[in-house]
Amino acid sequence: MTHPTLTGRHALVTGAGRGIGAAIAGSLAALGASVTLLGRNRSTLERAAAGLAPHAGVHTAQCDVSDELQVKLAVDGARQALGPIQILVNNAGQAGSAPFMKTDIALWNSMLATNLTGAYLCARACLPDMFEAGFGRMVNIASTAGLTGYPYISAYCASKHGMIGLTRSLALELAGRNITVNAVCPGYTDTDMVRSAIENIRINTGRTQAEALAALTERNPQRRLITPAEVAHAVVWLCLPGTESVTGQAITLAGGEVM
């Protein structure tokens, strides 16, 4: 029995320098895909690229996904380096917290620009290749915050709810083109971003690190953080043969927190 692979596919992953994005890029490359790692920091991108499967084609592109021109140039460069793009993973994101009345316009705009407008711009840049190929897989890394509310992160919640709305709308619009569009919605995940949140809780509340971690995981019935590898596994599954009918879904990875 042969195992399905992604050989011959070119995947572009945003926010790919570390954490969830790096794990996704590594999992896609391990199954034979050529991978473009896109992100803001060139050194982190190059370190992540160096760790990918040696047989895979690899390209890195420094880019702010909220900037239309930068996205266009980065996608054009990726296409020239590795060929047309058939898989897009919109993972780039930011998380900022504040009480709503202290959520100023700069924080609001920053959350929407990176988390939502970035996905919009990358989708518009990559979809022409999928149209031409008659095949495409788009996976948007949303969050449980796109499915339910949390206090003190209103801008982040709004951006992730918007990403899921975009996912569902595009899935219906593209259903007849052999292009699927899905969202993966992890709960708190073991990344640098969450480790920073734990440290902020510790500093601001006087709690121990263990107590701060417990505060983040208390809504997860498994009482743990999600791992980047778990998110990557879900993304890869959505890109492999056999998932052609899975589209418009928001797949939750949160230990039963959101049902």
Q: Which active-site residues does the annotation give? A: 156
For the chain, how many residues are written? 259
Task: Give me the amino acid identity at 97.
Answer: S
196 CB-near residues (< 8 Å, 6+ apart): none
Are 87 and 56 in contact, with CB atoms under 8 Å apart? Answer: no
| Contact in structure between 178 and 244 (CB atoms under 8 Å) | yes
Cα 168 off chain centre by? 16
Who's near 101: CB < 8 A, 6+ residues apart? none
Q: What angle do CA 3, 239, 49 make, to 5 degrees?
A: 90
Distance between alpha carbon 198 and the CA centroid of its chain, in Å?
A: 21
Q: How far is CA 118 from CA 47, 60, 65, 152, 242, in A?
A: 23, 17, 5, 23, 29
Ordered strands of the 87-90 beta sheet: 58-62, 34-39, 10-14, 87-90, 136-141, 179-186, 250-253
Identify the CA nearest to 22 among candidates 236, 239, 232. 232
Residue 163, H or E segment = helix 154-173
